[in-house]
Homo-oligomer: A and B are copies of this chain.
Amino acid sequence: MPMKILFHNAKILTMENENIIDGDLLVIDTRIAYIGQDASIYGPFDRIIECDKNLLMPGFKNAHAHSAMVFLRGKAEGVTLQKWLFDIVFPREANLKEDDVYYLNKVAYLEYIANGITACYEHYFYPLSSARAAHEFGFRTLLLATYDKEKYPVSTLIEQYREFNNKKDDLVTYSIGFHAEYTSNEEMIKETKKVLDVLKAPFFTHVSETTKEVQECYERHGVSPVQYLADNGLFDYGGGGYHCIHFDDNDIAIFKKYHLNIVSCPGSNLKLASGIAPLRRYLDEGINVALGTDGPASNNSLNMFKEMYLAATLAKIKENDASAISSFDILKMATVNGAKAMNMLDADVLAVNKLADIIMIDLSLPNMFPKNNIINNLVYNGSKENVVLTMINGKILYEKGLYYLKESPKAIYDKANEVMERLESDLVK
């Protein structure tokens, strides 16, 4: 018999619109079976959760992440980007092994679920290690895999894409992309395009994150990175870009033409002094804008409340207009728009038959007082400590500060510490 979990006496923000419903939400197995005033006729239930009028809403979608980079958090903050990359990050990443990613990802997942994040778009080395970690942990993940002549030839990408997107795993899906124009080459582009053509698959990459990147692309190719990628047919089946800070009108036109998604990472963009993306303009142009934390080394939080706050307030500074973007539009970026960018359309809003990726927000804490406007409070003063329950795929993984996982947080930390010690000692060798 499938599990029936009743959320009783909740406020429910479905994210289909701004309305907040008072009532019940029923989860059967992995999906939402009922939302309405009273679910009692559907009983008996395996569990009844008394919500005390706290808020149920869709979990946050972290639409750009390098989860395993958690080992680099706090390693060096007051240094320039160049020094950080070449002296700190790259030497350690060079020694990363397949299992390292598997163990480190789980540390990030602990933080995700405590913060109400129920899915991420995972872009890092060893995507199958991330698939394994996500599956075991119970965390919903879209992988980004990249062509590599040795490890990821065209045939492997095609095979894995088909496997995962034909429900090989109930939590893990698969996509194609690469790091960036400035780390690509002609062979990579040609082979990636072959994969995309066979699969009719969307393509994602970092793009226009810094002015330097844009300028150097002009020097190399005479066009902007967006134009260059489009010229090579990489966006023929959709997809999108991470960061997208330094766009010109032509770049925006290309994003509109191909219905591409923008994943903005305001926390990372501040920390690395990359700039402020013109999100208001993108919304005005009808482009789907999602939010991501980027990696824990370049943020350093894995916290969508922070990203929402930054997206909202940096837009005000950018536009010199305190009314730049509405709170509901910001909340959509962190939830529904992320699901759209990640092609998780079954897990976007709270509605009957949707996947049960749900979080509960404690409205009784002082930062939610007064309840003048719950959506404003979430965006401008919501915080991780408000997350009292995180459910993914119908399973409660986190509740009232405690984790309900196959292994203990301590076991996860211990393994990650072992990995980190080895990475440091490898450096000395």
Q: Tell me the minimal C-beta distance from A11 to chain B in angstroms.
A: 15
Quick check: is A27 within 8 A (CB to CB) of the other chain? Answer: no
Beta-carbon contact of A381 and B301 below 8 Å: yes
Measured between beta carbons, the chain B residues less than 8 angstroms from A273 are: 316-317, 319-322, 324
Instruction: Mark out the residues of chain A between 39 and 79 whose CB falls within 8 Å of any chain B CB in the assembled complex.
Output: 70-79
Which of B78, B83, B377, B379 is within 8 Å of A325, CB to CB?
B78
Instruction: Mark out the residues of chain A between 270 and 305 whose CB falls within 8 Å of any chain B CB in the assembled complex.
Output: 270-273, 275-276, 296, 299-303
Measured between beta carbons, the chain B residues less than 8 angstroms from A365 are: 114
The 12 sampled A-B contact pairs (Cβ below 8 Å) are A74-B373, A75-B373, A75-B376, A80-B321, A271-B313, A271-B322, A272-B316, A273-B320, A366-B409, A367-B384, A369-B413, A384-B385
The count of chain A contact residues (Cβ–Cβ below 8 Å) is: 71
Instruction: Indicate whether A322 sits within 8 Å of B84 (C-beta atoms), given known contacts A111-B366, A379-B77.
Output: yes
Measured between beta carbons, the chain B residues less than 8 angstroms from A302 are: 367
Determine how many copies of this chain the complex contains.
Answer: 2
Beta-carbon contact of B323 and A80 below 8 Å: yes
Report the bound CA distance from A269 to B80 in whole Å: 25
Which of B270, B373, B383 is within 8 Å of A314, CB to CB?
B270
Measured between beta carbons, the chain B residues less than 8 angstroms from A74 are: 370-374, 376-377, 380-381
Beta-carbon contact of A317 and B275 below 8 Å: yes
Report the bound CA distance from A275 to B309 in whole Å: 16
Q: Tell me the minimal C-beta distance from A320 to chain B in angstroms.
A: 5
Quick check: is A133 within 8 A (CB to CB) of the other chain? Answer: no
Which of B70, B306, B321, B371 is within 8 Å of A370, CB to CB?
B70
Report the bound CA distance from A270 to B373 in whole Å: 20
Q: Tell me the minimal C-beta distance from A279 to chain B in angstroms.
A: 14
Nearest 4 interchain pairs by C-beta: A270-B313, A74-B376, A111-B366, A273-B316
Instruction: Mark out the residues of chain A between 72 and 122 whose CB falls within 8 Å of any chain B CB in the assembled complex.
Output: 72-81, 83-84, 107-108, 110-111, 114
Quick check: is A326 within 8 A (CB to CB) of the other chain? Answer: yes
Instruction: Indicate whether A380 sits within 8 Å of B77 (C-beta atoms), given known contacts A370-B71, A370-B416, A417-B370.
Output: yes
Q: Tell me the minimal C-beta distance from A412 to chain B in angstroms.
A: 9
Measured between beta carbons, the chain B residues less than 8 angstroms from A381 are: 73-74, 296, 299-301, 303
Report the bound CA distance from A73 to B87 in whole Å: 44
Q: Tell me the minimal C-beta distance from A274 to chain B in angstroms.
A: 8
Interface string of A399-429 (1 = CB under 8 A from B): 0000000000100010011001000000000
Interface string of A175-195 (1 = CB under 8 A from B): 000000000000000000000
Quick check: is A267 within 8 A (CB to CB) of the other chain? Answer: yes
Beta-carbon contact of B376 and A323 below 8 Å: no
Of A111, A314, A316, most buried by chain B (CB within 10 Å of CB) is: A316
Given contacts A74-B377, A296-B381, 16 further A-B contacts (CB under 8 A): A70-B370, A76-B373, A77-B312, A77-B380, A78-B326, A79-B323, A80-B321, A81-B322, A273-B320, A273-B322, A275-B317, A299-B380, A300-B380, A301-B383, A302-B367, A306-B306
Interface string of A1-13 (1 = CB under 8 A from B): 0000000000000
Quick check: is A327 within 8 A (CB to CB) of the other chain? Answer: yes
Report the bound CA distance from A77 to B416 in whole Å: 42
Report the bound CA distance from A322 to B379 in whole Å: 26
Report the bound CA distance from A262 to B5 in whole Å: 53
Q: Tell me the minimal C-beta distance from A86 to chain B in angstroms.
A: 13
Instruction: Mark out the residues of chain A between 149 and 163 whose CB falls within 8 Å of any chain B CB in the assembled complex.
Output: none
Measured between beta carbons, the chain B residues less than 8 angstroms from A413 are: 369
